[in-house]
């Protein structure tokens, strides 16, 4: 027989939001409306994140937040969010790899040098003139 030196903690009292959610779950119509609302908001944020993947904006953040909203009510979204977090952890570990960091530094430096060389060549040929205002484009022919 094991001796318990510590007293067992009394069960925590449910917080106000949990009581509110349980009250909604008891009413079938309210529960359906709540789940539809969560689905609509979560889907809109998720869709916005997907759109931001090809347009300017924080697309990954939108996708994760949309999945987190959906995961409050749907098990499939919890699984997808778990997979997304695992993929993010793997990407973080891969990005922190010293060889990958060194390679990225070399590629970034090389790209910056090429961009600087192209800008210098343009300025040497045309000066401070924007491309659409060049009068004699003989260089291009």
Reported as a single tens digit per residue, the pLDDT across 32-69 is 999 999 999 999 999 999 999 898 888 888 988 999 99
Residue 102 belongs to a domain: yes
Instruction: State if pTM tops 0.75.
Output: no
Note whether 38 and 86 are same-domain residues.
Answer: yes
- When pLDDT is cut at 50, 70 and 90, the band that residue 140 belongs to is low
Measured distance CA(72)–CA(20) in Å, rounded = 14
Instruction: Tell me, yes or no, whether 8 lies in a domain.
Output: no
Q: Tell me, yes or no, whether 56 and 125 share the same domain.
A: no
Our count of domains for the chain comes to 2
Question: How does residue 88 score in pLDDT terms, banded at 50, 70 and 90?
Answer: confident
Q: Residue 47 belongs to what domain range? A: 16-94
Domain for residue 4, yes or no? no
Whole-angstrom distance, CA of residue 3 vs CA of residue 5: 6
Looking at the fold, whether 62 and 129 belong to one and the same domain comes out as no
């Amino acid at each position: 027989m094991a001796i318990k030196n510590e007293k067992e903690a009394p069960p925590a009292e449910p917080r106000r939001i949990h009581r509110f959610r349980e009250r909604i779950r008891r009413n079938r119509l309210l529960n359906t409306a709540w789940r539809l609302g969560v689905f609509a908001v979560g889907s809109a944020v998720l869709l916005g994140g997907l759109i931001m993947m090809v347009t300017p904006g924080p697309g990954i953040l939108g996708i994760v937040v949309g999945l987190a909203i959906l995961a409050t009510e749907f098990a499939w979204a919890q699984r997808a969010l778990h997979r997304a977090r695992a993929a993010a952890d793997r990407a973080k570990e891969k990005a922190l790899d010293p060889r990958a960091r060194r390679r990225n530094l070399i590629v970034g430096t090389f790209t910056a040098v090429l961009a600087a060389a192209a800008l210098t060549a343009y300025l040497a040929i045309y000066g401070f003139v924007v491309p659409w205002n060049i009068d004699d484009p003989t260089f291009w022919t």
